[in-house]
Amino acid sequence: MAELIVKDNALIQASYTLDLAEQRLILLAIIEARNSGQGITHDSLLRIHASSYAKQFGVNDKTAYTVVKDASKGLFDRYVTYHDKNPKNGKDRSFHCRWVDKIGVEPDSGIVYMRFTSDVVPLITRLESHFTSYEIDKVANLSSIYAIRLYELLISWRDVGKTPTYEIDDLRNKLGVEPEQYNQMCNFKAKVLDRAIKQISKETDITADYVQHKRGTKITGFTFTFKQKKSPEPIAKDDAFIKMTDSQVRTFSSKLAALPELGSNFAPSGMSEADFAVMIADDLRDTSKQNKYHKHLAKLGFEVAKSKAK
């Protein structure tokens, strides 16, 4: 089952700066709360196991605990800025609040604990209106912190496929670009926007582009457009078994083993990627097990024309 992330658009539109591991830790915390059925409240002490991080994001098991431990410490010092209107007078206002107010570690079990602050909880859990949802596997392969933030920003406008124009300073804040970073426009475009757009278009379910806006010769803002990719065509009808050559089995078992969503769902705890590829290779030759990989084979470009269905 796909792992769903839901964030209130006030948080999606908020300005904050998190590194890659910290962003991923928050995603896993949201999943943990949903899967456990406990939801997220200010009293919720959420558990994130290092092995879950390793499987979901393709990180080495031996280093995953250090990554999640350091990320939880980083989150403890981070804050988010969000904006709303004063209900009494309708005037714009902004607030700063911390992400978490309690963290803990359990080294022998490889577990990190964290508790979201009372201010952040409603932004994550309020689903009554204006929410954005996506599956974690859509961003699992994004290695740029700006790509994750931009993806979230884009899909909050999924109904129209186009964002409003973001002025430069506002966009930098929303993407979490520090004031001293990439102040020259050529660097900002190359290191932030172009890299993020390339990753999003390659690794997620949408393709994206942007249009720059100028006053005279000066770039003052950007508008982003995007569209949904077509779902891969099924590689077999009625879950028919596909006869694969030995070369195809070797090639695609390695590719499948590297997919974070498969490691999370199918790989036994602690299994290396190489051993997981061997297990998948056996499954691809098994008439009763191969069909669970069909949609992933299609995603990886396996061509039915090169093989025959029985």
Domain assignments of the chain as residue spans, ordered by start: 1-140, 143-229, 237-309
Residue 272: which of 111, 55, 52 has the closest Cα? 55
Q: What is the pLDDT of residue 44?
A: 84
Residue with tokens 């359990």: 106
Q: What is the pLDDT of residue 69?
A: 93
Q: Does domain 1-140 have CATH number 1.10.10.10?
A: yes
Query: Which tokens go with 147?
Result: 């790509």
Q: Does domain 143-229 have CATH number 3.20.20.140?
A: no
Q: What is the pLDDT of residue 128?
A: 37
Mean pLDDT by 10 residues, the chain (310 residues): 73 81 87 74 87 82 88 91 87 90 92 90 61 75 90 90 94 91 94 96 92 94 93 66 88 85 71 87 90 83 57
d(CA 122, CA 214) in angstroms, rounded, equals 38
